[in-house]
A and B are shown apart, each in its own frame.
Chain A
């Protein structure tokens, strides 16, 4: 929640370019890099679905409580971050070409109802970040640029997973979730939260997390893909290899989407496989890796701030005329 800093504000020829730049690589979104136009397209759901279909069956070691052991430090998705969750070509230095995070429907598109698709497109046309197709009007700024965050965006970042009897704890650099797995019921759906109300259960190898009570006041990416106060999410975390968790989230809301839809990506154990953005700045990542190996503090999470250093940017966004993004409900 505190990680997104509006660190760079450039006014070029009347177009305001607002670049959120992240700090350390453990929370919400992966660290931001700057991408060249010839960056190859990052693989996401399509590639991962094909890869995981070929994996041999795997049974994870158990915790002392007898459930699959998911503990440790895990990365978010490799790639350019969630600027736009649907498949896209190169847009700008922070938005390299990338496959869609959506595995179902097969076309990789969020299955919006017509009014909701119009709303998403309206939001996108009013981002005023210099993207093609914008109206030039300023409508909403990405809520994360105001240090707001929520599900499912938090799950698209690095996490430490800790398991204790009847609970799973997910730590990012500066925020957390505690998921009870003791069979307790959800709170009333009238109780709304940025992160919703999570209830977990184990189904064989899989941790299933059912989320209700989401307030719908943040986005799924920075490009206006949205959910609402009636949205229901179900996450599935399965260790499919010693160093890989298959992360799957299904999002359901008949008031916004024509059908439930699913995103998926592999969470690699930190220090194994490719790191976030390794494809974009290999030398920088390698150099940072060597320096970190020698640093006794490299595994520590140090203070992350967001709102504390963001006041000037908040003031600017308000002065530029961006509106507050309220939860979206269908037109009457």
Chain B
């Protein structure tokens, strides 16, 4: 009787523990459910043409629709971005003045992780010592080095940061530092400082799906690390390929034709 009860209690506790796990925690360990094919070097094979299918490019958080902006569920875990009070004020200013301030409107390198969830496809190419991410947007290349070199010594201020990768099980884990303060996270004015530190995880969850998770840390702007996650979808169209979005070329051509374009005012 006593032994039976003890066994029951343990089982009950285990069940309760499973039930109490948040759904996102279950989503973090899909490797058990799916084993991706391997490359010739024996790495999990993430190669191919991928794209998000969400509205994170407009706003990382829950948002309603406005003209030209589709409504969307947020991609932030818990939906709250833990800004410090003064940083929240700046985010709100950014939002108010986003037409003038959003760096995307100047066609500069859009930063990480923003480049990943902009509405353009990207191709992943794996080699033994690096993963190359080719983005259709402005033909940007992200080199994720896995050659044993640590992050180079700073200070370095790069738009796209310095990316160093490693394999954890079936996940590609990328540590990114050495950012500048020129880029945002989305069109809603969410921003960071040059102290930004990202840990990205690309985890295959099926032949045509990956989970993309990013832990975002920036002690100058946020009170604690926070996390976004979203699925990546393998593009299915026959003959799909990366085409071209030469943002800077289109922008300059447009502004050159305007008699009094503010673009040519010295900043």
Contacts and interface: CB of A to CB of B under 8 A. Distances in A.
A176 interface: yes
A195 interface: yes
Contacts of B257: 324
A169 B125 contact: yes
Contacts of A184: 239
A195 B244 contact: yes
Contacts of B109: 303, 305, 308
A315 B266 contact: yes
A174 B141 CA distance: 6
Q: Interface SS of chain A: helix, strand, loop or mixed?
A: loop
Nearest to A1: B139
B132 A171 contact: yes
A142 B158 CA distance: 27
Contacts of B182: 308
B123 interface: yes
B105 interface: no
B236 interface: no
A303 B252 contact: no
B5 to A, nearest CB: 61
Interface residue SS majority, chain B = loop
B134 A178 contact: yes
Interface in A175-219: 175-176, 178, 180, 184, 193-195, 217
Nearest to A182: B239
Contacts of B27: none
B3 to A, nearest CB: 60
Contact of B244 (A194, A296, A302, A324): A194
Contact of B158 (A178, A296, A299, A303): A303
Contacts of B134: 169, 176, 178
A307 B264 contact: no
A331 to B, nearest CB: 22
A308 B108 contact: yes
Interface residues of B, number: 41
Contacts of A297: 149, 152
Contacts of B125: 162, 164, 169
A297 B160 CA distance: 17
A178 B149 contact: no
A300 interface: yes
B246 interface: yes
Q: How large is the interface on A (under 10, 10 to 19, 20 to 34, 35 or more residues)?
A: 35 or more
Interface string A301-325: 1110111100110110011000010
A301 B129 CA distance: 13
B226 interface: no
Interface in B99-128: 106-109, 123, 125, 127
Contact of A324 (B123, B243, B253): B253
Contacts of B143: 300-301
Nearest to B239: A184
A248 interface: no
A176 B138 CA distance: 10
Contacts of B160: 303
B267 interface: yes
B233 interface: no
Given A297-B152, A308-B108, A303 B132 contact: no
B1 interface: no
A315 B255 CA distance: 11
A176 B141 contact: yes
B242 interface: yes
A148 B249 CA distance: 6
Interface of A: 1, 64, 146-148, 162, 164, 169, 171, 174-176, 178, 180, 184, 193-195, 217, 296-297, 299-303, 305-308, 311-312, 314-315, 318-319, 324
15 contacts: A1-B138, A1-B139, A64-B40, A146-B252, A171-B141, A194-B249, A299-B147, A300-B147, A301-B143, A303-B158, A303-B159, A305-B159, A307-B106, A308-B108, A308-B109
Interface of B: 40, 47, 106-109, 123, 125, 127, 132, 134, 138-141, 143, 145, 147, 149, 152, 158-160, 162, 182, 239, 241-244, 246, 248-249, 252-253, 256-257, 264-267
